[in-house]
Structure 1
Amino acid sequence: MKKIGFLSFGHWANHSAYSTQTASDTLLQSIDLAVAAEEIGIDGAYFRVHHFANQLASPFPLLAAIGAKTSRIEIGTGVIDMRYENPLYMIEDAGAADLIAGGRLQLGISRGSPEQVIDGWRYFGYEPSEGETDADMGRRKGLEFFEKLAGIGFAQPNPNPMFPNPPGLLRLEPHATGLRDRIWWGAGSNATAVWAAEHEMNLQSSTLKFDESGKPFHIQQAEQIRLYKDAWKKAGHQRDPRVSVSRSIFALVNDQDRYYFGQEANRVDKIGMIEPDKRAIFGRSYAAAPDQLIKELAEDEAIQEADTLLLTIPNTLGVDYNVHVLSSILKYVAPELGWR
C-alpha cells in the first residue's frame, strides 16, 4: 500500500493553450484541484516553490486555503528552498497553516537548487556566514527551523510586557503539535539523504539526483533510499520514517492522453549538469497504455522502496484534465501494483 499524491509546479503563462494564464488562475485552480483530488481518493496535494518565476512561490497562503476547504488530504511542499527563508517567521506561518488544516501539513524543505536568478536569496536579504557556502546556509537554516518546531522556549521574556507571559523562556506561536514529525528533506545525493536521516527528517527524492554511480536512475534512487533507512535505524529514532519519490506517470486511455503524452513513451533517463561541477541524472517519464505501464512501473526499484508516490501533473492543462490523469492512475494502475 502506498500513499499517492500529486506534485504541481504551478506554472502559468499568457498562452492560448493554457488553462492557467495568470497567477490567480494557478492559485485558485490549485485549491480546486486539491478539493477534487481528495474526493477521488488521492492522499496528498504537494506544491513546488520557485522564486522569480511564473510559478508558485509563497506556499503558506495556498496551503492554508486548501486546509480550510478539505478535511483529509495531506497538504505539502516539494520543496521550499531554505536559502530564501527566515526560519522563525516560517515557523509561525507553518504553525498557522497546520492548525487551519487540522495537522495535515507535510513540508518538504531543502538547501535549494539552481534558480531563475543568480544568488536570488541575496535579494531577500540573506548572506552565508563567513566560511559558508549557500548550500551550507540552506542546511543551517533548515536545521534551525526544524529544531525550533519542537516548541521549546528559547526567547528571554520582557519583564514589562504588554500582555502577561507564561513562566520561563518563550517559544514561537502558534505552536503546531506534531508538525516536526512531518518535515521532509529534499535530498539530491546519497550523503544528504543520510544527513536527513541522522537529523530525523523524512526523505523526499525527486525525479533527479546527482549521478553517483552511472547506474539507471531508479536503481541509484533506490540505493539512496536504502542508505537513508540504514542511517535512520542506526540513529535509533523512535518513530518510523517516511520516504517519497516523484514520477511523471501518464496512463494513455483516450485520444486526448495520446495527443498530450504519447510522445513520452519509450523515454529514457537523461544526464545533465545542474551545477557547473555536478553531473545529474534525470529519471524518465512513464506514458503508456495501462497494461504496459504496470509492467514498467513494477520494475522501478525506488517506487518499491518508498511509501509515498508523488505524481507530477501538467497543471497548465486545467483541473478537469488533471483529475482525469489522477483518476486513471487510481483506477487502472494502482490496484494492479498493490498500491491500493
Structure 2
Amino acid sequence: MDKQNGEAVLHVEGDWTVKTVGSLEREIRRARFEATPQRVDVSALGAVDTAGAFLIHTMLEDGGIEADKTYQLIGEHAQAKALLELVSGRERQEKVVASQPLSIIDLLARVGKGSVHFMDEAVGTLSFIGEAMLTTFKLLLQPHKIRWTSVFAVMEEAGLDALPIVSFLSFFVGMVIAFIGATMLQQTLGATVFTVELVGWAVMREFGVVLTGILLAGRTNSSFTAQIGSMKMRQEIDAMRTLGIDPIEALVTPRILAMLIMTPLLAFGATLSGLLGGLMISWVALDISPILFITRIQEIVIIQNFWVGMSKAPVFALVVAMIACRQGLLVQGDVQSLGKATTASVVHAIFLIIVVDAIFAMMYMELGI
C-alpha cells in the first residue's frame, strides 16, 4: 500500500482465489496499515473469485471503508469490480435484513403472498387438467393417433418396474397391521382371531391403494418431472411446437394412459401382498392357519371393500400423471428450477393423494359403503 495524491491506495497482486486466500489472510493479519485505504489498484491482479473478493472487501472494511460505499478501482480487470460489488451488496443486504426484525406486517405479507401463490397454482393446475383431459379424450376417439410405443414404454418403466418395491412394502405393512391388531385385540377383547378382519378391511380399503399412490408419487412423479423438465431445459419442447407437435399429445397423454392402466394393477398387487403379510403373521405368531385366514376373509370381509379401494386407483393415477407433467412443463432454463419443480411435484402429489383419499373416505361413509 502507498499514497497517491494524498490518498492511500491498496495494491493487490497475484491470484486471489479460494486456493490462495488462506495464505493471503495470514499475510494480511501480519501487515499494518499506516493509513486508511481509499482506492484499490487491480492492475496486477490475476485470477479472482468470490472468496478473494470477499477477502479484499473485508480488508477494506477493516481499514475504514464502509460497506455502503462504492469502491474506487485503479486499473482494468475483467471480474474485480463485479465481484467486489457482489460481495459488498450481499453483505449489505444481509445486514439490512438482520437489522429489521419481522413485524406483524411482514407476517401478513407472507400469508397474503402464500395465499395468492396457492390460488394461482390451483387455477393453473385446473387449467392444465382440463387441457390434458380434453386432448386425451380426443385421442381416445382416434386411437390411431395415440403414440402406443410411448404408452407401453411408460407402462414398463412406471408400472412393471415399480411392482417389486410396491409389493415388498405392502407385505411389511400388512405384517405391521397384523402385529398391532393382534396386540390391541388381545388387550381389549381377548380375541386375536379378529385380526383377520382388521387386516382385510385395512389393506383392501386403504393401505393397498394409498401405499401404491404414495410410492408412485415419490418414484414416478420425480421421474416424469425430471424427464419433461430436462426436455424443457434443452428447448426440445419448443422445437416440438415449432414442428407443429403438441407437447400435451406427445408427452402428457401417453403418461396419463399408462398410469391409468398400471395403477389399478399395482394397487391389486399391493393388496395381495398386504394380505399375504397379514396371513404370515397370523400363521406364525397367532396360530391362525392359512385356510382359516382365507375362509374368514371370504366370509366376513365382503368383496365390496376391495372395490372401494380399487375405485381410488384411477384418481390417484391422474393425480400422479397430471402433477408430474405440469411441473415438468413449468421448468425454466436452469438446473435450480428443475430441482424445485421435482420437489414441488412430489410434495403436491403426496398431499393431493392424502386429500383425495380423505374425500373418498367421507363420501363412502355418507353413502354407507
TM over 0.5: no
Structure with a larger share of its residues in strand: 1
Query: Which structure is larger by alpha-carbon Rg, 1 or 2?
Result: 2
Q: Give the number of the structure with larger relative contact order, counting CA–CA contacts within 8 Å between residues 6 or more apart.
A: 1
TM-score by length of 1: 0.21
Structure with a larger share of its residues in helix: 2
TM-score by length of 2: 0.19
